[in-house]
Amino acid sequence: MRIILMVLDSAGIGALPDASHYNDEGANTLLHIQAAVPSMRLPNLNRLGLCRIEGGAALDSGNAAPTPIGAYGRLAAQSAGKDTTTGHWEMAGLVLSAPFPTFPNGFPASFIAAFEAAVGRKTIANRPASGTAIIDEYGAHHMQTGNLIVYTSADSVFQIAAHEDIVPISELYRICETARAMLTGNLAVGRVIARPFVGQPGAFTRTANRHDYSFAPPAPTMLDGIKSAGQHVAAVGKIEDIFAGRGITNSVHTKNNMDGVDQTLAYMQTIPNGLIFTNLVDFDMHYGHRRDPQGYAEALMAFDARLPEIVAAMREDDVLILTADHGCDPTHHGTDHTREYIPFLAYGKRIQNSVDIGTRNSFADIAATILESLGVAGETAGDSFWSKKLQINSK
């Protein structure tokens, strides 16, 4: 048996009850995109049950199946925070009691000095910023001096931008590895991110050579359990980075969402069992953070158009699960992630049609459900709904 778990990065479906603690009251990524772009049509996602999820009726474009062919529902976050690492770790069974640290005023001067000494380059910026804006502002200076552009965001990240002609990719990756090793204790950010770019002043472009260096999970996740059971864990996109390589048997990085779909389909031809775990980052990186509902809608429709290919490639015992890791409402204020429920859609010959799993208490229920479906033992913070809700002929 195989589970194909695909994360539509940031595709949240409504503010969580504690959203006010994060200044995210009223956020709703998917519904606000639909409202901003009324022409958005997601017939295949709706056929699985997207518009049947609580609060999701506005997503019905008139093409939804009267009886969904999949199971559907939504899940709440139990972990503190709303970043990528926290969301993925929780859906893999690990709930964090405290959020990763953030640095709204930049990183301490003492750390920056030690970092510069360790890597042999000076730094500039050291403040929260949009990734595209920061290279527009500092890119020319960086090219003249070789100084690294260091910045953060509302997420727990230490990001290093460098022009590929000034700092070779191999050197940038080594620099990020050094930063990852140094960022411990109170400075233990969730991710160190290499942000290479190319071009000339006024026309800089970030490249697909981004690389994330995550803090290693402090406890086993479902990935470790599946791998230990002798089954495959194939990671597509930034999954390998998010889990610091832990519990993964095969991995491939991707250039964009469509490449992510292509690589998932390729693994579906070769991976015999276990988990294929895919992250589609464009929704978040290119459209959510940049507050572009039109671009987000077009990316959702592009993915929706490829869903039939994924379904057609499924084996008799495959189960497809579609979800998200947090929200990033492009109509909300600021450029940060938003604290939201995540959607859950499941389809396969072993899945009952038109099953509403309701609202689950934790993303970790996904991990518990996957482990039970694969017959793998493992401790998670979640409760499985495989035999109770999804599996055909379950009691």
Phi then psi dihedrals of residue 182, to 5 deg: -85, -25
Which tokens is 238 given? 């930034």
**pLDDT tens by residue, the chain, 395 residues:** 999 999 999 999 999 999 999 999 999 999 999 999 999 999 999 999 999 999 898 898 666 667 899 999 999 999 999 999 999 999 999 999 888 999 999 999 999 999 999 999 999 999 999 899 999 999 999 999 999 999 998 789 999 999 999 999 999 999 999 999 999 999 999 999 999 999 999 999 999 899 999 899 999 999 999 999 999 999 999 999 999 999 999 999 999 999 999 999 999 999 999 999 999 999 999 999 999 999 999 999 999 999 999 999 999 999 999 999 999 999 999 888 999 999 999 999 999 989 999 999 999 999 999 999 999 998 899 999 999 999 986 44
Longest CA–CA span in the chain (Å) reads: 68
| Pairing status of strand 71-75 against strand 355-360 | parallel
Domains plus CATH for the chain? 2-99+216-390 (3.40.720.10), 109-214 (3.30.70.1250)
> Strand runs (DSSP E) across 244-300, as ranges?
250-252, 274-280
Query: Helix, strand, coil proportions of the chain in percent (round to 5)?
Result: 35, 20, 45
131 close to 159: Cβ distance less than 8 angstroms: yes
What's the CA gap between 300 and 283, in Å, rounded?
Answer: 8
| Pairing status of strand 191-198 against strand 157-163 | parallel
Name 220's bridge partners.
none
Look up the pTM and report it.
0.90
| HSE, side-chain direction, 13 A CA sphere, residue 32 | 22
Name 278's bridge partners.
6, 236
Q: How far is CA 52 from CA 61, 83, 149, in A?
A: 12, 26, 45
Closest by CA to 69, choosing from 276, 318, 394, 351, is 351
